[in-house]
Structure 1
Amino acid sequence: MQDDLEGSGPGAAAGGADAAPAVASDTATEEGGFASPRIEGLAALELTPRRVEVRRLAQAMRDIIESLVSTTADTDELAAAADDLERLASALGRLPSGQTYEGFAEAAIAGTLPDGPERWAFFDHSPFIGLANPMSPPMTLSYEGDRVVCDVTFGSAYEGPPGCVHGGYVAAAFDELLGAAQSLSGTQGMTAHLGVDYRRPTPLHTPLRMEGWLHRREGRKIWARATITADGELRAEAEGLFIAFDPGTFQQLLEERSR
């Protein structure tokens, strides 16, 4: 992978080494190192009855999507299934909806935002690691030493070339993993540049192993790298450049989202 991304990406100009100090991560490992809220925060969310049911509903919708894109049902069977799903969609559409996550609504009314794990509740709605999002494969992130690792299997809904994961989903999965890896620098940042080298097709319906690690940091600029393997073979590798938040930026995003 290349090391010369210092001037790359839309956020690079604002990310010089002399820029304002970055906001520190809110979590730390038992060994004293920094941790990713994508892992620690998501794992620590309270499994309230409502959250359990939202995740259950998301999994059911995930199963529906997988069945739909791979079905060989005849016209009458499809019509009957469509009737059932249209009724369900109508019923769901009549339920209350809004922009807040669980735990945010009450806090917003009180003029504050949730502290602790609930601060990271939005990760449960991520299109890649969120168990409450039916678009999520989902990816499962964890630590192995100084690396963030992920086990994931992409179903038929993510197909690009025949039998293979669409390259756009491969890139997005890298962005999610690298976002966790860059947090090990002790800061939270946003993606400024993402480079992906596709080595071999990434197969569908196959357990994939992803590994990401912190490469280096210069001021507000943070570089992380990652790989995807299947059956022991390298399928793709990536490098991401992240620009650390200014103090208060993340809090502002949460406040705007909770309105």
Structure 2
Amino acid sequence: MTEADHPVLLGRLEESRALAASVRRLIEVATATTAPPGATLAAARGLDAITDALARYVPDPMPPMTQLNFPEEGESDLSARMPFDVMIGRHSPLAPPLTLSSEGTTAILSGTLTRPYEGPPGCVHGGVLATAFDIVCAAANFIAKVPGPTRSLQISYRRPTALHTPCRFEARVDSVDGKNVRTLGRLLQNGVVTCEAVGEFVFFDREAIGRMAARARGES
């Protein structure tokens, strides 16, 4: 399963990535520009025209954004299954430029969070960090072949996480007890831990994930 298999990306994979990158850049500039009123309004009208043109191609009904299937043997690229995810979606302009990878059984989410993700001045918003932990913990579960939804996620904010500074989120499965999965995570900047996470997840087997996927597609 790859992002190229997603029904809304067939035949337009690189073009969709380019569109997401352009909109991501627009978001960055829109939060910083001091353009005069006329230039600001002209930009808004131009973007409305672009949006109207693209809206003609929006399917109805929309297919699910996430491909919910059990991981295949040796598969570790969660990004390919979640092309529009708010954190790791390569086709979502909302997603920061974070890269998901693995080192053995540890999931790694790395990259630099910039101005659009600011909370306290000069620091990353706590909600953004919580979302990043949720996805990196889910990736660790995916690698360990115990995927499933989040039951609870506890974040301990040890110190401020700075904007414009490389982040390294790490997560690994700590224990599996029947359907209950406990996953631990931490965030490092310059080798210093700024946040830690403890996630509780529910393991869904192949049949359960199949039923969830069917419901997402509107099937009985």
TM-score by length of 2: 0.84
Deviations 1:198-250 (A, max 9, x none): 01111112211111111111111111111111122211010101011155221
1:212 maps to 171
Q: Which moved more, 1:235-244 or 1:45-54?
A: 45-54
Shift of 1:186: 2.4
Distance in 1 between residues matched to 2:79 and 2:30, nearest whole Å: 32
**Aligned residue pairs, count:** 208
Shift of 1:94: 1.9
Alignment equivalent of 1:151, drawn from 96, 107, 110: 110
DSSP-derived class of the 1:142 partner: strand
Distance in 2 between residues matched to 1:42 and 1:141, nearest whole Å: 15
Q: Which moved more, 1:86-95 or 1:124-133?
A: 86-95
DSSP-derived class of the 2:186 partner: strand
% identity of equivalent residues: 34
Query: Does residue 90 of structure 2 align to residue 135 of structure 1?
Result: no
AA at the equivalent of 2:190: D
Contact 2:169 2:187 (C-alpha < 8 Å) held by counterparts: yes
2:59 maps to 97
1:243 maps to 202
Alignment equivalent of 1:73, drawn from 32, 35, 39: 35
AA at the equivalent of 1:139: L
Distance in 1 between residues matched to 2:206 and 2:51, nearest whole Å: 41
Distance in 2 between residues matched to 1:210 and 1:130, nearest whole Å: 16
Contact 1:211 1:227 (C-alpha < 8 Å) held by counterparts: yes
Shift of 1:96: 3.2
Relative to structure 1, is the Cα distance of residues 217 and 245 closer, same or farther in structure 2, using a 3 angstrom cutoff? same
AA at the equivalent of 1:96: V
Distance in 1 between residues matched to 2:3 and 2:19, nearest whole Å: 19
Relative to structure 1, is the Cα distance of residues 247 and 146 closer, same or farther in structure 2, using a 3 angstrom cutoff? closer
Shift of 1:69: 0.7
Alignment equivalent of 1:200, drawn from 159, 175, 187: 159
- State the structure with bigger RCO (CA 8 A, min sep 6), 1 or 2: 1
Distance in 1 between residues matched to 2:167 and 2:104, nearest whole Å: 19
Distance in 2 between residues matched to 1:230 and 1:120, nearest whole Å: 23
Structure 2 runs not aligned, ≥5 long: none
AA at the equivalent of 1:250: I
Distance in 2 between residues matched to 1:42 and 1:152, nearest whole Å: 22
Distance in 2 between residues matched to 1:42 and 1:213, nearest whole Å: 23
RMSD: 2.7
Following TM superposition, the consecutive aligned residue runs of length 4 or more in structure 1 with deviations greater than 6 angstroms are 43-47
Q: Which has the larger radius of gyration?
A: 1
Distance in 1 between residues matched to 2:26 and 2:125, nearest whole Å: 20
Map 1:174-189; keep pairs closer than 5 Å. 174-189=133-148
Contact 1:129 1:139 (C-alpha < 8 Å) held by counterparts: yes
